[in-house]
Amino acid sequence: MEKKFEPAARNMYGFIREGWKRPDDNVDMKQLIWERMIEWRRENSFVRIDRPTRLDRARELGYKAKPGFAIVRARVRKGGMRKHTIRKGRKPKKKGINKITLRKSTQVIAEERTSKRYPNMEALASYWVGEDGKHQWFEVILIDPMHPVIRKDPKVNWICDPANRGRAFRGLTPAGKRSRGLVRGKGIGHEKVRPSLRAHKRHGN
């Protein structure tokens, strides 16, 4: 008699991850996100919260519920650069108004602004939590490198090294590495991505 395939049992994080994969398919999840957008629009651009909204994603990125860690929800505007219209001296097709976007992703901008807001802490990583037609919201995981609990933890105290200062501004977070093209792959076909695009004189292209 053939054995039937039985899927592995999922823990709490598996159910949370499944709910955030396709929130539009879940009526309750869709309603919850809609209510959150109404509330978050009224808040400031940076809000420090007690616990992560997406616990599974925060734990995957290294978050721990211990002193020295902090979660900040950051709001960033969507869209392009919104250039002003040039009235004369240009061809209409040469004005360069639309379709002009930054090389950085919106997530990297959120990490940089949060790090600037909290200069005594380092950005470990961030994750998406919501968006509407005008803004995107990301939750940034911050670590205080001078906190005694962090300095004693052998799994986290690598961030206390001076070489990790200004991680968000140097593109060392996961989102920053994606913007730099370092996460897509290694080896054949990716020779001119490392150590950096600037090192291979590709930053102007």
Check if the beta carbon of residue 138 is closer than 8 Å to that of residue 130: no
Structure letter (DSSP) for residue 146: T
Q: What is the mean pLDDT of the chain?
A: 87
- Structural domain includes residue 12: no
Q: Residue 144 and residue 122: Cα distance in Å, rounded?
A: 6
Q: Residue 161 and residue 41: Cα distance in Å, rounded?
A: 37
- Structural domain includes residue 9: no
pLDDT band at 86 (very low <50, low <70, confident <90, very high): confident
- Structural domain includes residue 198: no
- Structural domain includes residue 139: yes
Domain tally, the chain: 1
Q: Residue 199 and residue 190: Cα distance in Å, rounded?
A: 13
Q: What percent of the chain has a predicted confidence (pLDDT) above 70?
A: 94
- Structural domain includes residue 156: yes
Instruction: Report which of 44, 32, 46 is spatially closest to residue 138, judged by C-alpha positions.
Output: 46
Question: What are 38-52's pLDDT values in tens digits?
Answer: 999 999 999 999 999
What pLDDT score does 57 carry? 93
List the structure tokens of 48.
């420090």
Helix, strand or coil, per DSSP, at residue 46: strand
Query: Which of the residue ranges 56-65, 110-119, 125-134, 190-199 would you say has the lowest mean pLDDT?
Result: 190-199
Residue 117, domain extent: 46-179
Q: Residue 82 and residue 201: Cα distance in Å, rounded?
A: 28
Q: What is the CATH number of the domain that holds 96?
A: 3.40.1120.10
- Structural domain includes residue 15: no
- Structural domain includes residue 73: yes
Q: Residue 64 and residue 201: Cα distance in Å, rounded?
A: 40
Query: Which of the residue ranges 42-51, 97-106, 119-128 would you say has the lowest mean pLDDT?
Result: 97-106
Residue 137: phi and psi, rounded to 5, are: -120, 135
What pLDDT score does 10 carry? 75
Nearest 5°: the CA angle 79, 135, 103 is: 40
Q: Residue 56 and residue 48: Cα distance in Å, rounded?
A: 19
* CB within 8 Å of 167: residues ≥ 6 apart: 115, 122, 123, 124, 159, 173, 176
What pLDDT score does 125 carry? 96
Q: Alpha helices of 42-172 — where are they, by DSSP H?
A: 55-60, 106-117, 148-152
Q: Please give the single-letter amino acid code of residue 33.
A: I
- Structural domain includes residue 148: yes
Instruction: Report which of 130, 139, 111 is spatially closest to residue 38, judged by C-alpha positions.
Output: 130
Nearest 5°: the CA angle 137, 142, 143 is: 175
What pLDDT score does 92 carry? 76
Query: Which of the residue ranges 34-38, 50-54, 125-129, 179-183 would you say has the lowest mean pLDDT?
Result: 179-183
Instruction: Report which of 127, 85, 122 is spatially closest to residue 110, judged by C-alpha positions.
Output: 127
